[in-house]
Amino acid sequence: MHYDPRFPSIADLKRRAQKRMPKFAFDYADGGIDEEHGKRRNRAAWQAVILTPRYLRDVSHTDLRARLFAHDYSLPFGVAPIGLGNMLWPRAERALARAAQQANIPYVLSTFSTTELETIAQVAPDVCWFQLYVPQQVAVMQDLLRRVKRAGYRVLVVTIDIPVGAKRNRELKNGLKLPFSVTPMMVWQCMLHPTWSLHTFTATAGSPDFVNIAAYRTRADQGLAQFITDFTMHGVTRERLAMIRKLWDGPLVIKGVQHIRDMQTALKIGVDGIIISNHGGRQLDAAPTSAHSLRAAAEIGAQTTVMVDSGLRTGLDIVRAKALGAQLAFCGRSFLWGVGALGARGAQQVAHILHDEVERTLKQLGCDTFARMDQSWLEA
Ligand SMILES: Cc1cc2nc3c(=O)[nH]c(=O)nc-3n(C[C@H](O)[C@H](O)[C@H](O)COP(=O)(O)O)c2cc1C
């Protein structure tokens, strides 16, 4: 597996990514909503979780596996879904999927990905999960789910936390809006980042597009922005979730859950797992941190598979999340900084860094098996 010793942490990769990516692309990945307090609180909340080490134990061998939905993943973290991934770095989605397949960790492809879902299923056949933004039209949803099933996706992840499009000020200031129109400022930023531009605007990678849903755009007079707005439900209802449950016979997960009532409702509907998430601080600036919501989820933890994302940047954070009850943690921006910094090789670099950090943290804490890390390590 590739490892470049100049970038030993995700923070180092982020600094390099910021230099290599055009500003509008970096800001799209890095930005949160409103004043970005929620995004900052996510980090602070993980950092505030204190774990007490136990010594006088043999930790020469560690077991980092996470068993989820009848599959043994080699490591307890995965790649979170990212819309417009190839805009962040050319062919980023393939690189991330390939690295996930090599590392045997889950890769979640976004509905709004810029690589066809059928292609990614071939790149990561053993670890591919599909994230669904629920289409308003039932017939479109049925067709999309048929394609996802046929392609061989193992788990369906329904994102519920986007009842309304987010107003992200950095994106607005950068002129990043639909339909894409290249502003003079963007042209300047692209000129300053020739590697990104060369690959993005030539046949090597191609200009990013919403390839999975393009076929459903039937009205020629409908602009892209309107199409995207009209495409997804403005608030996924319980009834629709129940319909998805009937249509999808594999493992079903909902993503973006924060309130205990929503967790209980989801369980009643029959979902198999939840991803506690505030979308990385990108939807509601006042949202509770994922560390907080995980504590709230403790009462249902035994009944379902609890996973988490938002603000995790180190292996220590992943162990902290496990101590709070998450069986697996997803990372969004951490993986983006990898590809932004080092291109395709960066995806492997992130997996390597997080693997190494999880392992060292477990040993330091006196725990040889990730699955056994629990609240008994939390500071009393
Ligand atoms: C640039 C970007 C695009 C995203 N696109 C999606 C998406 O298409 N679907 C989705 O469910 N979540 C999306 N998310 C949210 C991530 O899946 C995940 O919840 C979040 O990134 C976790 O926080 P972290 O970036 O701090 O790790 C996106 C996040 C970012 C940063």
User: What would the DSSP string read from start to end of 141-202?
Assistant: HHHHHHHHHHHT-SEEEEE---SS----HHHHHTT--SSP---HHHHHHHHH-HHHHHHHTS
Q: pLDDT class for 172, splitting at 50, 70, 90? A: confident
User: Do the domain assignments include residue 329?
Assistant: yes
Handedness of CA 341, 345, 349, 350 (dihedral sign): positive
**Contact (CB, 8 A) for 78 and 330:** yes
312 lines ligand 1 (CB under 6 A): yes
Q: pLDDT class for 151, splitting at 50, 70, 90? A: very high
Q: Is the confidence at residue 203, as pLDDT, over 60?
A: no
pLDDT, greater one: 65 or 168: 65
Q: Which residues contact 188 (CB under 8 A, 6 or more apart)?
A: none
Q: pLDDT class for 191, splitting at 50, 70, 90? A: confident
User: Using one digit for the tens of pLDDT, what is the confidence trace for 27-39?
Assistant: 999 999 999 999 9
Residue type, 207: S
Tokens of 339: 């590809």
Tokens of 123: 């790149």
User: Do the domain assignments include residue 93?
Assistant: yes
- pTM, two decimal places: 0.96
As a whole number of angstroms, the distance between CA 217 and CA 105 comes to 33
- Percent above pLDDT 70 for the chain: 97
- Looking at residue 171, its pLDDT comes to 84
User: Do the domain assignments include residue 1?
Assistant: no
For ligand 1, atom 15, name the residue with the nearest CA.
Answer: 279
User: What would the DSSP string read from start to end of 51-75?
Assistant: B----SS--SS-B--EEETTEEESS
Domain that holds residue 366: 10-377
Give residue 32 CA to ligand 1 midpoint distance, Å: 10
138 phi/psi in degrees, rounded to 5: -60, -40
Q: pLDDT class for 175, splitting at 50, 70, 90? A: confident
Q: Is the confidence at residue 270, as pLDDT, over 60?
A: yes
Catalytic residue selected from 2, 71, 279, 292: 279
352 is catalytic: no
As a whole number of angstroms, the distance between CA 196 and CA 194 comes to 6
Q: Is the confidence at residue 215, as pLDDT, over 90?
A: no
Closest CA to 318 of 116, 27, 78, 106: 78
85 lines ligand 1 (CB under 6 A): no
Give residue 280 CA to ligand 1 midpoint distance, Å: 6
- Looking at residue 250, its pLDDT comes to 98
User: Do the domain assignments include residue 22?
Assistant: yes
- Looking at residue 217, its pLDDT comes to 81
User: Using one digit for the tens of pLDDT, what is the confidence trace for 250-269?
Assistant: 999 999 999 999 999 999 99
User: Do the domain assignments include residue 48?
Assistant: yes
User: Do the domain assignments include residue 2?
Assistant: no
**Contact (CB, 8 A) for 285 and 37:** yes
80 lines ligand 1 (CB under 6 A): yes
As a whole number of angstroms, the distance between CA 380 and CA 376 comes to 8
User: Do the domain assignments include residue 5?
Assistant: no
Q: Is the confidence at residue 173, as pLDDT, over 90?
A: no
- Looking at residue 204, its pLDDT comes to 58
CATH number at residue 39: 3.20.20.70
- Looking at residue 228, its pLDDT comes to 82
As a whole number of angstroms, the distance between CA 53 and CA 115 comes to 44
Give residue 330 CA to ligand 1 midpoint distance, Å: 10
As a whole number of angstroms, the distance between CA 81 and CA 282 comes to 13
As a whole number of angstroms, the distance between CA 150 and CA 62 comes to 37
Q: Which residues contact 215 (CB under 8 A, 6 or more apart)?
A: none
Tokens of 8: 């030993």
- Looking at residue 207, its pLDDT comes to 66
As a whole number of angstroms, the distance between CA 91 and CA 347 comes to 11
Give residue 126 CA to ligand 1 midpoint distance, Å: 22
Indicate the top mutation candidate among 14, 41, 82, 88 to test ligand 1's pocket, ranked by most ligand atoms within 8 A of CB.
Answer: 82
- Percent above pLDDT 90 for the chain: 80
Number of domains the chain is built from: 1
User: Do the domain assignments include residue 4?
Assistant: no
For ligand 1, atom 26, name the residue with the nearest CA.
Answer: 311
8 lines ligand 1 (CB under 6 A): no
Give residue 256 CA to ligand 1 midpoint distance, Å: 10
